[in-house]
Structure 1
Amino acid sequence: MSVSAVSEISKDTNSWNVKRKNAKRVYAEVEDYYGKKLKKSEDVKIVNCSVKAGTACTKLIKEALSSVHPEVSSRYYGCGLTIPTKLSGKKVLDLGSGSGRDCYAISKLVGETGQVIGVDMTESQLSLARSYIDYHMKEYGYKTPNISFVKGYLENLTDAGLKEDFFDVIVSNCTVCLSPDKRKLLTEAYKVLKFGGEMYFSDLYADKVVPETLHDNAEMWGEGMTSALVWTDFYKIAKEVGFTQPCLVSISPLPICDKKYREALEDIHYVSATYRMFKLPTDEEKLNFTYKGTVPENEDQLLFDHRTVFKCHEKKCNDFKMAAILKNSRYSEDFDFEDCSNLDEHEAVCYKPVNPFEYLAQLKSENRMPSPPPCSKRK
């Protein structure tokens, strides 16, 4: 089965899981669920995601994750691994930072000259995260903390004191789906990113809108089953906000492990997917580019997304959208660029949105199906 391009992304993104009217109720229920009901990763009742759902772990990332205090790691509730390459010295924002696991791993990767800020609305999670700042700074040998945690709503980042056009990278681990207003969240994320900045995040996606009759179940919302965006809505909202077309990095099947909820959701299917998208200037140059092999741990080739690999010293031609991303992002020094002189000879590369469910089916047909998250202790 080949992956079919989506000819038209849905024009209607007004379904209630894009924006809910009773935002205060959603905030209260999510805060109660993650602040009181869940005490450790194993308490998740419907699905349980592993770091395998994100991009592959490099040695540096593995070392960073293993350096995080066990109590912090035990309160991890993400659905992927949201740590991209080339973070040294960068300013990184984590949306929905929870216990701080990803923040502390990234804190090690950005180094003492970098900066990491985690934003969360749950006081108990923030308290836990803050209590380990000194521990990790001592562990990493930093004289001055490069990390802080801010209380705030992801739909109002500037109101929480975050500067516009400031961050090099935004990460988020299974948090966008919990928002009562996804469009506002992505709009705020776009505001605080620098031009050339990237949003790199994992989240849950559905293949169809979940019936509104299920929206009062706080547990199902809290674990992303009723709060997940339909994937077509995600693509449309990202475009409306101003981001580049989302690039699918990796994907994992997401079976519903709990029989009761599996029956309630009937024929709705889910995936855990990691995407990356960028905030770029409007001007676009016609450039060809060549990877120099200078990204640490990616000297021979750099995997950019599920279909794009840059091999060292191999020229890429007529891929002008990708050239714009690379030229304006933190990867600019890792590529050589040159003006394209053969515009009349070759048509520019044009990427169309990929249906993640069809892509997953293709992987299955090729015996390359990713492992689903573990469903231990679930019936």
Structure 2
Amino acid sequence: MAANGTSTSETTEPVSELNQANGETTSGATMNVDLAVRDRYSAAAQEAEAALCCPVDYDPEYLKIIPEEIIERDYGCGDPSRWVNEGETVLDLGSGGGKICYIAAQIVKDSGRVIGVDCNDTMLELARRHQSAIGETLGYDVVDFRKGRIQDLQLNLDRLEEYLKTNPVDSVDDWQKLQEYQDHLRKTEPLVESDSIDVVVSNCVLNLVREEDRRQLFSELFRVLKRGGRAVISDIVSDETIPDSLRNDPNLWSGCISGAFREDLFLDAFTDAGFYGVEIVARQSEPWAIIDGYEFRSLTVQAFKGKEGPCMDHKQAVIYKGPWKSVTDDDGHKLVRGQRMAVCKKTFDLYSKAPYADQIIPIEPNEAVSPEKAQPFNCHGVPIRSPKETKSGLPVLNMLPSDSSCGSDGCC
């Protein structure tokens, strides 16, 4: 990235030469991702590293109360806090020095709550060091920093460390007891409760997680959200599949490059985990970095939780406004522009809220169908709902416009 933080960063040297220049060597298939990330971010928490930054325009009003050392050691690629609302409970995955948490605290105000999760002790110390002073400035303290791995939001690592101080592992039997205690902690004292969060945010962290842990990562993200909650994730993505020659490089991985999701697969990861309404809300036009012709840029994705449950027919319909002739959602519902499409109550309720509400016209039946009388609905195909069905029960009569329909300026 150029010194002004706005232009494309192009790496033209071979990767091996790049690593030698940085004092790094590739480790091939034996690369320890967790170790590479931990060491680099521990160092970056003590001394700012410009190579980890991506240009982001934060609202300067929110930065006024945040200490300079936190701002200098923030290594994000987007601003997911823009999609946070007052009064919400926010979870920041990979909260680092706490910048996004302290921005979110100002947005949610004293009626909300902000939880930051990170496993790096140096970063957590930086974030916690200023918590009291920032709370005094705001007049309230709604931030809570917790030690944990973002792919395992059930295990509280602070509590686990307390256990290890008095129960060191010196044998297989000790190791088995440790495993049992971890399971006990997950069940009785989860780091983050299920169905407890309004919005999960993350800023350039998911790409640092090992590929074998990513399915669990998205599953945990989904678990902690309330029904109707959402995830807003900013991360680095690639335009093509990254070859092993780059993926096995610890310097590039810890630098938020070689662990990047491919852009389309990043979106698929949300739908595979059960999210709906997945959409790109921000995308960097020019790449942040180019290595061997592969482009890397910032992407912010918003996705919602809440489409679980049976499909029941309440005689409801939706009209897709356009501009496309037809659209098909993630579940195969095809909506034809201008047609009254029959949908189940679950789908009707989802379409009546963000991110769909602006695109459809909801049509309720004249006579509401009670849950007891609703019949199972086959969502495959989405038939056209006859107007006669939705207006059933209305009296059959002729009605013509009266003189009162005309205003002072003439008839409508």
Letter in 2 for 1:27: D
* Residues 238, 245 of structure 1: 8 Å contact kept: no
What is the deviation of 1:336?
11
The CA deviation at 1:339 is 2.5
| Aligned-residue offset at 1:121 | 1.0
Note the residue ranges of structure 1 that are not aligned, 5 or more in a row. Answer: 1-19, 290-316, 347-379
Match of 1:279 among 268, 280, 305: 305
User: Residues 107 and 146 of structure 1 are in contact (CA less than 8 Å); yes or no, is this contact kept in structure 2?
Assistant: yes
Secondary structure (helix, strand or coil) at the match of 1:28 reads helix
Match for residue 355 of structure 1?
none
> What is the distance in 1 between the residues matched to 2:341 and 2:132?
49
* Residues 318 and 340 in structure 1, CA contact (< 8 A), matched pair in contact too: no
Q: 1:199 is matched with which residue?
A: 231
- Partner Cα distance (1:63, 1:288) in 2: 41
Which residue of structure 2 aligns with residue 123 of structure 1? 121
The C-alpha deviation readout for 1:99-157, integer Å capped at 9, x for no partner, is 00000010111111211000011100000101111111111111xx3111111111100
Give the Cα separation in 1 of the matches to 2:386 and 2:294: 45
Q: Distance in 1 between matches of 2:70 and 2:351?
A: 34
Unaligned runs of 5+ in 2: 1-27, 157-190, 320-339, 367-382, 388-412
- Summarize the Cα distance change of 1:166–1:287 in structure 2 as closer, same or farther, 3 Å threshold: farther
| Percent of aligned positions that are identical | 28
Give the match for residue 360 of structure 1: none
**Shift of residue 39, structure 1, vs aligned partner:** 4.2
Cα gap change, 1:327 to 1:116, in 2 (>3 Å):
farther
CA deviations on 1:194-237 (whole Å, 9 max, x unpaired) are 01000001111112221112234222101221100112222322
Give distance in 1, aligned partners of 2:70 and 2:35. Answer: 23
SS at match of 1:255: coil
Aligned partner of 2:153 among 134, 154, 157? 157
Q: 1:328 to 1:151 in 2, by over 3 A?
A: farther
| CA offset digits 1:7-33 (Å, max 9, x no partner) | xxxxxxxxxxxxx9979x211110111
1:134 aligns with 132
Provide, for residues 79-105 of structure 1, a one-character-per-residue CA deviation record: whole Å limited to 9, x for no partner.
Answer: 011113452111100000000000001
Alignment of 1:315-334 (within 5 A): 324-325=349-350
Distance apart, 1:326 and its partner CA: 6.8
- Indicate the residue corresponding to 1:182 in structure 2: 214
| TM-score (ref. length: structure 2) | 0.60
User: Which residue pairs with 2:43 in the alignment?
Assistant: 36
User: 1:84–1:200: 8 Å Cα contact kept in structure 2?
Assistant: no
Aligned partner letter, 1:32:
D
Match of 1:266 among 272, 292, 296: 292
Asked if structure 2 preserves the Cα contact closer than 8 Å seen for 1:205 and 1:271, the reply is: yes
Q: Distance in 2 between matches of 1:32 and 1:253?
A: 31
| Cα offset, 1:77, TM superposition | 0.3
Kindly provide the amino acid, as one letter, of the partner of residue 174 in structure 1: C
Partner-residue secondary structure (3-state), 1:92: strand
Summarize deviations over 1:134-190 as a string: whole Å, max 9, x none. Answer: 111111111xx3111111111100123210011000000001111112221111000
Q: Is the 8 A contact 1:40 1:76 kept in 2?
A: no
In structure 1, the residue matched to 2:240 is 208
Asked whether 1:70 is paired with 2:68, we answer yes
Distance in 2 separating the partners of 1:88 and 1:232: 31
How far residue 323 of structure 1 moved from its aligned partner, in angstroms, is 6.5
Q: Which has the larger radius of gyration?
A: 2
- Within a 5 Å distance, the mapping from 1:284-363 to structure 2 comes to 324-325=349-350, 339=364, 343-344=384-385
Give distance in 2, aligned partners of 1:82 and 1:178. 18
Write out per-residue CA displacement over residues 274-301 of structure 1, whole angstroms, 9 at most, x where no aligned residue: 1100101335785669xxxxxxxxxxxx
**1:232 aligns to what?**
264
